[in-house]
Structure 1
Amino acid sequence: MSAAVAGERAASWRLGLAGAGAFGAFILEALAPLPEVTLAAVAARTPARRQAAIRRWADARRAAGLPAGDVAEVEDARDLCRHPAVDVVAVATPPDLQPEVARAAVAAGKPVFLEKPGALRPADLAEVARLAEERGVPAAMDFVMRASPLLERVRSWYRAGWLGTPERWHVENWAGGELPAGHWFWDPARSGGVMVEHGVHFLDEVTWVLDATPGPAWSRAWPHPCLPGAMARCLAVVEYEGALPGGGGWHLAASFYHAFVRPEGREHQVRELGFRNGWLRIAGWIPERLEGELRLDPDGRKALEGDPLVDVTAGPGDAVRVAARLPDREEAYREMVRAGFRALLAAAAGRGRPLAPLDAGVAALAVARRAVEAAGGAGGAG
């Protein structure tokens, strides 16, 4: 993308959405309050899907006091990428289609906001990244965890040296399992399986928060208790290593359990993080509540006490208790999507880099694939 074109588009961006399923519609709802973004076109295979997504956009725009505008309907996502009214493409198709659509957008010179995992194979996503780099087209993964206010605080505390050596990272994700038996999510040939389609979020967050390098990985998967053909439960263990901000290396084993089996309204997600100087617990797959106990030096305690989101109280011995809570999980989720999209637009206008470049997606996908392959197949069946 030329500097002249980027400058012309910096004030207003016409969005094309490729893939109008549940998450594609959520992207539209999240981006609707942005006055610099208009929806130009939606691509999906059925008119009903396209029109439902457009209605959701229109409702969210009205709620934000903004016009919905005219939106073109397109059947083929590749045609949407070439549509003259589209400046930037959000790709929210099933994973098996994502690299083809992303390549079409890059070939058309359109910045790409790519839903995870971006591809089923790291090589396919790496090819998209290579083409984008060659053509100067900004492209980003929708790795929303990088925009989490709570994880951003953990990252900054670690980098300031207040947490000490990382010792443990565990994710427990009991998610909803209400999808029908024929849904693409359950087909590893389309989704890559739970560890690939969903797990990359959490693999990337460890790398990002701790500036960590992933190593050997292992996983195992088991079927949904009510859908024997759906590998809905997955456990993975990944070794990570890194260097402390003040010097010295570290090594930890991170574990990730994902189970898409819970009835609606009965989900449970938590992260347990262990450090030399204490522990942190973060509730919600979209992080919404943080608590923990830390032994902080005076500078660290002063910094945390000055953070309006964080409550600091006396803890056992010389430790302090820390707590933080986001008031609205769904709005936090929408804002995390907006943050990644804004960063992409800024990069396209020549200001900065995407929050999660495609290389981050390649790295996370490579770890997920190593874990699955260590279990002996696409689903990692037990």
Structure 2
Amino acid sequence: MTQRSIGVGLVGTGFMGKTHALAWRGARATMGGDLPSVRLELLCDQPLARAEAMADQFGFAAATEDWRALMADPRIDVVSITTPNALHHEMALAALAAGKHVWCEKPMALTLEQVRAMEAAARASGRKTLVGYNYIRNPAFRHALKLIREGVIGRPVHFRGWVDEDYQADPDLPWTWRAKLSEAGLGTLGDLGCHLVSFMSELMGPAESLLAETQIIHETRPLPEGGGRGPVENEDVANALIRFESGAQGVFTTSRSAWGRKNRLGWEVHGLKGMLIFDQERMNELQLYVDEGPKAAQGFRTILTGPEHPPFGSFVPAPGHQLGFLDLKTIEAAELLRDLGGGAPARPDFSEALKIEIFIHAVALAAREGRRVRLSEFES
């Protein structure tokens, strides 16, 4: 693997910006010295005073309030884009045009047209890209994939998936950019549902077609400056019935207005010989049922992740000590660094993430037009 240092630029200092900064700082220390070293060169936010304060906190060498200056900076090899959704498209295109590699948070952009332009630019540039689906880095999930490949539960025949949170459940929560199509794009599908698709695609393979419905629960919200209420333009809830190319079927549901749910991202895979169950709120556990032995002795068993489930052991040498959300982000950064150093490709890149975006937009289209939508309709 090529041993060289990687210069990093970070745009955005909210929660996801912080996770990127921590992941960049911790990847090599946690995941191994064979990774290229990292130089945290330049951080961008507005106003400049905030950028300077966050650069100091996160450990970046310099700060700017001009994201275009960051893209042009010759010290930077890779750009982390953690801004609100509406800025992803323009920033990613600028970074790629400047010869930078790109690590972009999901969703990739507001529309499929923008996503396709990003994917085409990435292919033409030859630069590395990665989209922030860190949940699929979970050792529990990777063990589930291993069990499926080994035939432990037999051929998968049905999928049930859900992702619910309650951050939009309160009808009196003030209106924000997340309610506007021109700033957020899709609602719960783009914010939450795409994470479920990242799981589902790995577990079940490509979807063939789907039926769907969406719902806006709170059609208006109080404007933060007072003086009335603003319209909510995107969905709070989405549901889909899916046919996979394999012949399996599935159920997909997501809500951002589900009281009491904090990060209820979970799924079941039903096989001919057994079942796997996962719940992100108990992210260090995997439930397995196998139809073996006396019926009276059968039942679900809990697999608690530990060093036997890579790369858990890179963080802690003993089972039962638990990994967390930030650890999954560190794994994600390490995989991008390994790719930049000449190792295995990090994924999903823009081309693979385009398929995730197509699925969530297919759900929106099926709900809007009241018909079964085939994923082949989106082939370019």
Identify the TM-score tier after normalising by the shorter chain.
0.7 to 0.9
Q: State the shift of 1:240 in Å.
A: 3.6
Q: State the shift of 1:206 in Å.
A: 0.8
Give me the whole-angstrom Cα distance separating, in 2, the residues matched to 1:328 and 1:215. Answer: 41
Match of 1:149 in 2: 139
User: Contact 2:7–2:39 (CA<8 Å) still a contact in 1?
Assistant: yes
User: Contact 2:153–2:290 (CA<8 Å) still a contact in 1?
Assistant: yes
Q: What letter is aligned with 2:326?
A: R
CA distances 1:260-282 after superposition (whole Å, capped 9, x unpaired): 4546x865443233222222321
1:204 matched to 2:207: no
Give me the whole-angstrom Cα distance separating, in 2, the residues matched to 1:344 and 1:90. Answer: 11
Give me the whole-angstrom Cα distance separating, in 2, the residues matched to 1:12 and 1:49. Answer: 27
Under a length normalisation based on structure 1, what TM-score does the superposition of the two structures give? 0.77
1:177 matched to 2:180: no
Match of 1:252 in 2: 249
Greater displacement, 11-20 / 166-175:
166-175
SS of aligned partner of 2:95: helix
Match of 2:74 in 1: 84
Give me the whole-angstrom Cα distance separating, in 2, the residues matched to 1:191 and 1:285. Answer: 26
Give me the whole-angstrom Cα distance separating, in 2, the residues matched to 1:227 and 1:219. Answer: 22
Greater displacement, 42-51 / 114-123:
42-51
Match of 2:113 in 1: 123
1:101 matched to 2:98: no
CA distances 1:154-189 after superposition (whole Å, capped 9, x unpaired): 111111122223233223333141795243223232
Q: State the shift of 1:47 in Å.
A: 3.4
- Structure 2 runs not aligned, ≥5 long: 29-36, 223-230, 306-319, 370-380
Give me the whole-angstrom Cα distance separating, in 2, the residues matched to 1:52 and 1:182. Answer: 28
Give me the whole-angstrom Cα distance separating, in 2, the residues matched to 1:325 and 1:53. Answer: 37
User: Contact 2:188–2:254 (CA<8 Å) still a contact in 1?
Assistant: no
- Let me know the Cα RMSD of the aligned residues: 2.9
Give me the whole-angstrom Cα distance separating, in 2, the residues matched to 1:51 and 1:219. Answer: 45
1:194 matched to 2:188: yes
CA distances 1:93-128 after superposition (whole Å, capped 9, x unpaired): 112210111111111111111111111222322222
User: Contact 2:128–2:340 (CA<8 Å) still a contact in 1?
Assistant: yes
The partner residue of 1:278 within 274, 280, 283 is 274
User: Contact 1:151–1:209 (CA<8 Å) still a contact in 2?
Assistant: no
Give me the whole-angstrom Cα distance separating, in 1, the residues matched to 2:218 and 2:61. Answer: 39
Q: What letter is aligned with 2:302?
A: A
Give me the whole-angstrom Cα distance separating, in 2, the residues matched to 1:186 and 1:150. Answer: 34
Match of 1:13 in 2: 6
Give me the whole-angstrom Cα distance separating, in 1, the residues matched to 2:332 and 2:202. Answer: 14
The change in CA–CA distance for 1:53 and 1:322 in structure 2 (over 3 A counts) is farther
The partner residue of 1:237 within 214, 237, 240 is 240
Q: State the shift of 1:364 in Å.
A: 0.8
1:355 matched to 2:347: yes
Q: State the shift of 1:320 in Å.
A: 5.4
1:222-371 matches, within 5 Å, as 222-224=216-218, 227=221, 229-230=231-232, 233-243=236-246, 250-262=247-259, 268-284=264-280, 287-295=283-291, 316-317=295-296, 319=298, 321-325=300-304, 327=320, 331-371=323-363
The change in CA–CA distance for 1:29 and 1:98 in structure 2 (over 3 A counts) is same
User: Contact 2:27–2:334 (CA<8 Å) still a contact in 1?
Assistant: no
Q: Identity of counterpart residues, as a percentage?
A: 18
Q: State the shift of 1:85 in Å.
A: 2.1
The partner residue of 1:33 within 17, 26, 33 is 26
Greater displacement, 173-182 / 224-233:
224-233
User: Contact 1:113–1:139 (CA<8 Å) still a contact in 2?
Assistant: yes
Give me the whole-angstrom Cα distance separating, in 2, the residues matched to 1:85 and 1:119. Answer: 26
Give me the whole-angstrom Cα distance separating, in 1, the residues matched to 2:332 and 2:148. Answer: 22
Deviant stretches of 4+, over 6 Å:
none
CA distances 1:239-296 after superposition (whole Å, capped 9, x unpaired): 24244xxxxxx32123122224546x86544323322222232122683332232225
Give me the whole-angstrom Cα distance separating, in 2, the residues matched to 1:352 and 1:251. Answer: 30
User: Contact 2:144–2:286 (CA<8 Å) still a contact in 1?
Assistant: no
Greater displacement, 23-32 / 279-288:
279-288
